[in-house]
Amino acid sequence: MTGLSVSLRVAWALLRRVLPLAARRPFVFKRTFWILALIGWLLLAGAGIGVGILLGVGFQAWLLIGIALVATLAIIAAGLWGWVVVTRPTDKGVVFVSRSSAQTAAARDASINQQDALVARLRASASITKSFEIRTLASPVTRSEARTLLDHTGARARVVLFGTVRVAGGAARYESELLVRWPGASEPTTHVREGAGAEDFDRKVQVPDRHEVSVDAEQPLERLVGESFEASHADRTEGTLLVLAAHVQSSIDDDESVKTTLSEAEQSRDALSIHSRANFEALNAVVTARDIPGALAAMEAAGRRDSDDLALWTAATALSFYGMIEGSVPREKHLAFAREAVRANGDEPLARYNLAEALMGFDQLEEAREEFEQAGAHPDYADRYYVHFGIGVSSYNLGDFDRARTAYERLVELRPSGTAHLFLADAHRQLGNYTQARAEYRAALLVEPTLVEAHRGYWGEELLGAPDPARSRLFDPTMMLLIKLGGKSDRRRRLLRPLIYRLALRHARRHPEDSRIHYMLGAFALTLGNFALAEERLSFALGLIEGDLEALGRRAAARGLQGDFVGSREDLFVLRDAPPLSGSPSNMPGDPWPEADSAKARLRYAVLLPFIDEPALWSYPHAAKFGELAIEILDPGK
């Protein structure tokens, strides 16, 4: 027998054993492993061919190399194809039913028959098949492989059923296990936040360690091939899937389907694990009770009876929060449910987080911070921005500004937002770190230019002596040069106006801390005919500098030119009744008018000056009516 024939026989024997295994159980390795293996194969094949050419190997060596490469590629292709089959798209949730692990021929037969019988029973339930696609796996799976299946088959994968079977004396002993992804394991989970309503946060895609084990001892083998497969693990499997299906149906507001499915699930209630029973009771209370207090009463009764599980108390915590918002549930009841969830499972970070938020509502800051930190100590919650937000807020309100600063710094790392930078700036300011505070206020404005509190913080009295981290030295000279170029020529001013406006826009993007720029953008938008933008910018300018009469008069014009005479009238009355301006008449920008302050001067310089700069404004539909309204309020004797 030649070396070539031996190689062929070895390769064929290997492929016969490994190819079916790779195709049927690709989840032994993650999908990325097979992809990386393919990339590695391509690199190895290229390197092998290159080396072979350089060394000038003979025909037989080339054949051996080819056999090795083809065999390896076939295994990798089988693994990739197996993943394609396992992850084929569907519009339903997916339930994987594997064969039970067996050590003897009789046990393997029992495993096949058990899988067929269980799948037939599950597919006979219209409620289950409406929500789930039942997929069979031709090979047994381990717990780690089941976890890989759920982690890497997308959000629709819900359940993996696996286990072991032993046969002795015509009877089988089954140990079946369900790995279940309940709603909330990969979808957004609702945390309750006092003062901000319910807020959805993305959870990491991680299968919760929720295993449901059922053991059937001395199960007669003939029952596996009967018309009805009756076994406690089958009852638990079907009941769990029915509860899970009801949760899926409730997400699309199919109340009748939910009630029907729960009614079917109730027949298997006693076989359910306490966790599945708690999910059943929570959902059943919601769909059958007339109102939120009634649903909460039913949940609480079930929890005291035989469903004392985190799932039930977490549902009650969330529902009581909505009841608290509508005024039907006392705040104390919401806190009590949050405490029950922590008592049921103090290791669950979601329960800790919700309790912390409930405690914040009672201003119990010390305990709230402790609960936030307990939640953040869990690996799954260590990098969740809202946990560090809670730690920061509770610490800041306790006066522990150094701890607040640390939490807000982590918040900025995880989710840089205007609010995050603003709160970090406030903590630095309290600690006397004025340079860092000013830099963070500016960072907040770069993210959210209309954050009024950040503007006010940046220009805070004690911060004015701190270095300006990004002062612009070119904007003011350039702006003054363009204005001088315009001079008194209406034509030149009109030509330069779009250029000046673009310069102001660029300056606003790079230096949002410059409070003047918002008035300038509003004033230029008004003369360019963009009245909605003018109103927005001028409103923000008024939020920064209360009592700015020129901003108020121009906003009155922007509103009037849009036909909003109610808002325009309000602005004009405020302009008329504002306290007299101090200072002498001057032609300098920002100083009082070139003449003594009066209602007539305010009409001319605060309201009508844009119409003098751009007479085309009088051609807009509402211009004449607005002009009459302004004269009527500010200069009625005219």
- Using the predicted structure, report yes or no on whether residue 38 has a pLDDT greater than 90: no
Residue 4: what pLDDT? 58
Which pLDDT band, with edges at 50, 70 and 90, does 49 fall under? confident
Which pLDDT band, with edges at 50, 70 and 90, does 169 fall under? low
Residue 154: what pLDDT? 66
Query: Are residues 140 and 99 in contact, defined by beta-carbon separation less than 8 angstroms?
Result: yes
DSSP 311-374: HHHHHHHHHHHHHHHHTSS-HHHHHHHHHHHHHH-TT-HHHHHHHHHHHHHTT-HHHHHHHHHH
Question: Pairing mode, if any, of strands 157-168 and 132-137?
Answer: unpaired
- Using the predicted structure, report yes or no on whether residue 335 has a pLDDT greater than 50: yes
- Using the predicted structure, report yes or no on whether residue 568 has a pLDDT greater than 80: yes
What are 390-410's pLDDT values in tens digits?
Answer: 999 999 999 999 999 999 999
Average pLDDT for 566-577 = 91
Residue 239: what pLDDT? 83
| pTM beyond cutoff 0.85 | no
How large a percentage of the chain has pLDDT more than 90?
24
Of the candidate ranges 201-205, 356-360, 365-369, 466-470, the one whose mean pLDDT is the lowest: 201-205
- Using the predicted structure, report yes or no on whether residue 53 has a pLDDT greater than 70: yes
- Using the predicted structure, report yes or no on whether residue 317 has a pLDDT greater than 70: yes
Of the candidate ranges 137-146, 262-271, 468-477, 519-528, the one whose mean pLDDT is the lowest: 468-477
Average pLDDT for 87-108 = 82
Summary count for the chain: helices (H), strands (E)? 28, 7
What are 109-128's pLDDT values in tens digits?
Answer: 878 887 888 888 888 888 88
- Using the predicted structure, report yes or no on whether residue 59 has a pLDDT greater than 70: no
Rounded to whole angstroms, how far apart are CA atoms 38 and 430? 57
SS (H, E, C) 383-437: CCHHHHHHHHHHHHHHCCHHHHHHHHHHHHHHCCCHHHHHHHHHHHHHCCCHHHH
Residue 294: what pLDDT? 94
SS (H, E, C) 482-521: HHHHHCCCHHHHHHHHHHHHHHHHHHHHHCCCCCHHHHHH
CATH fold, domain 515-634, is 1.25.40
Chain position carrying tokens 């993007």:
509
Query: Are residues 298 and 292 in contact, defined by beta-carbon separation less than 8 angstroms?
Result: no
- Using the predicted structure, report yes or no on whether residue 52 has a pLDDT greater than 70: yes
Q: Pick from 384, 395, 466: which is nearest to 424 by CA?
A: 395
Beta strands in 61-126 (DSSP E): 93-98
Residue 580: what pLDDT? 76
**Residue 606 token pair:** 């605060």
Of the candidate ranges 171-180, 213-222, 237-246, 570-579, the one whose mean pLDDT is the lowest: 213-222
Query: Are residues 578 and 570 in contact, defined by beta-carbon separation less than 8 angstroms?
Result: no
What are 578-629's pLDDT values in tens digits?
Answer: 887 665 544 444 445 566 667 778 888 788 888 888 888 999 999 999 999 9
Residue 406: what pLDDT? 96
Give the range with max mean pLDDT: 519-533, 536-550, 572-586.
519-533
Residue 171: what pLDDT? 67
Q: If you count them, how many residues does the chain have?
A: 638
- Using the predicted structure, report yes or no on whether residue 228 has a pLDDT greater than 50: no
Rounded to whole angstroms, how far apart are CA atoms 551 and 524? 12
Please provide the distance, in angstroms rounded to a whole number, between the alpha carbons at the two ends of the chain. 119
Residue 215: what pLDDT? 38
Q: How far is CA 312 from CA 162, 259, 338, 341, in A?
A: 26, 18, 11, 8
Give the range with max mean pLDDT: 95-99, 214-218, 464-468.
95-99
- Using the predicted structure, report yes or no on whether residue 193 has a pLDDT greater than 80: no
Of the candidate ranges 54-58, 181-185, 242-246, 381-385, the one whose mean pLDDT is the lowest: 181-185
Give the range with max mean pLDDT: 11-20, 27-36, 209-218.
27-36
* Averaged pLDDT score across all residues of the chain: 79
- Planar angle of CA 195, 199, 202, nearest 5 degrees: 150
Average pLDDT for 519-543 = 88
